[in-house]
Amino acid sequence: MSNATVRLVLADDHAVVRAGIANALRELPNIAIVGEVGDGRALLAMLNQARPDVLVTDVTMPDFEPISSIRQIREAFPELKILIVSAYDDDVYVQGLLGAGVNGYHLKDQPLSDLRLAIQRVLAGERWVCSPLVDKLVRYRETAAPSVVLTARQRDMLRCLRDGLDNQAIARRTGLSVKTIENHLTRLYRQINVQSRLEAANYLVHHPDALGNTEPGTSAAAPVHAASGAQLAILVVDDNLRYRTQMRRMLGKTCPAASIYEAENTRTALRVVADTQPQLVFVDVVLGDEHGIETARQIRTLSAATRIVLISAYPDREFHRLGLEAGAVAFLDKKDIDAAALRELVDDAIM
């Protein structure tokens, strides 16, 4: 590093974590921490105000969607050095953030001396990946298929984009609502790491095998009954034992072959998600003293392919808006949940 003072902004939604990182970084010469924030909105404001040289940030904060937020920051501040300090070591997740433009990825459980080294390397213009992740990334690159594995529904969406259909036309072809089509396309874009219809169609040019063996012109969107999904995993997150039991019974009748898990709080839910990677998760908006929308956001970060449905006995328009921003695909009033509604959600989850 040069002798010039390096301006650094630190972002993490846990004050104790921020304090620990800040104390470690103050031991580095010529580092000035010019701002600390705990959520995505505050981070963008701080970056505009402080114009730092380097950003050290977690990615599981309120109002912060990891990939899109990092791309937004990278576009607005092309010279900014960005070091992720996170608890998540999933290789695909790390690859996605590196592809979005971060300069380094460091795990929170590593020694603080390594964090200081990471800062020095990033400031020197190098890319940093902490040692426990290196082997995982090498194995990922060695075993990665030319294109990602898509569900039948995603292949059908990609085929429709190849054919130049707009959302209305896709809805007519598949028999789904326009809103459902929008949700499918959002998840498809995330899966293949693109931002638009044009990029998705271009992806297919470079990865023609993405459509699998389905014959051109045939639709893969016909409903698949839940009983066929023997490996389907469903998680119900609710602090009310009686309601969890009720949901388990309804889901058991709707999808007898599914594995159904329960959690009463965020910590248990995240552990189940990490262990089982469920296709479908129901999360109550109110979890005791916790906020279910934030739980949904953390589940989305941990398992991007999981479909999250927020549920509430007290539906609220603002909850609905915030829930969809957090990555939920639907927001349901508990009194409207019946066998038919569950069947539709389960069928959609296994496509």
216-269: per-residue pLDDT in tens? 333 333 333 333 334 688 999 998 888 888 888 888 888 887 888 899 899 889
| pLDDT (0 to 100) of residue 37 | 96
Phi then psi dihedrals of residue 286, to 5 deg: -115, 115
- Say yes or no: 59 and 124 in one domain: yes
Q: Contact at 8 Å (CB) between 44 and 73?
A: yes
Whether 19 is covered by a domain: the verdict is yes
Number of domains in the chain: 3
Q: Contact at 8 Å (CB) between 28 and 119?
A: yes
| pLDDT (0 to 100) of residue 220 | 35
| pLDDT (0 to 100) of residue 230 | 40
| pLDDT (0 to 100) of residue 201 | 72
| pLDDT (0 to 100) of residue 346 | 78
- Say yes or no: 10 and 139 in one domain: yes
Sign of CA dihedral 100, 107, 12, 308: positive
Whether 220 is covered by a domain: the verdict is no
Structural domain boundaries enclosing 306 = 226-349
| pLDDT (0 to 100) of residue 315 | 63
CA distance 300 to 187: 11
- Say yes or no: 237 and 289 in one domain: yes
308 bridge partner residues: 281
pTM over cut 0.85: no
Alpha carbon 291 to chain centroid, angstroms: 18
Whether 216 is covered by a domain: the verdict is no
Whether 274 is covered by a domain: the verdict is yes
- Say yes or no: 253 and 344 in one domain: yes
| pLDDT (0 to 100) of residue 118 | 92
| Closest residue by Cα to residue 120 from 183, 53, 58 | 53
Phi then psi dihedrals of residue 283, to 5 deg: -125, 125
CA distance 195 to 186: 9
232: domain CATH number is: 3.40.50.2300
Q: Contact at 8 Å (CB) between 58 and 12?
A: yes
161: domain CATH number is: 1.10.10.10
| pLDDT (0 to 100) of residue 334 | 84
| pLDDT (0 to 100) of residue 192 | 83
pLDDT under 50 in the chain at which residues? 1, 140-147, 213-230
- Say yes or no: 108 and 15 in one domain: yes
Whether 218 is covered by a domain: the verdict is no
CA distance 13 to 58: 8
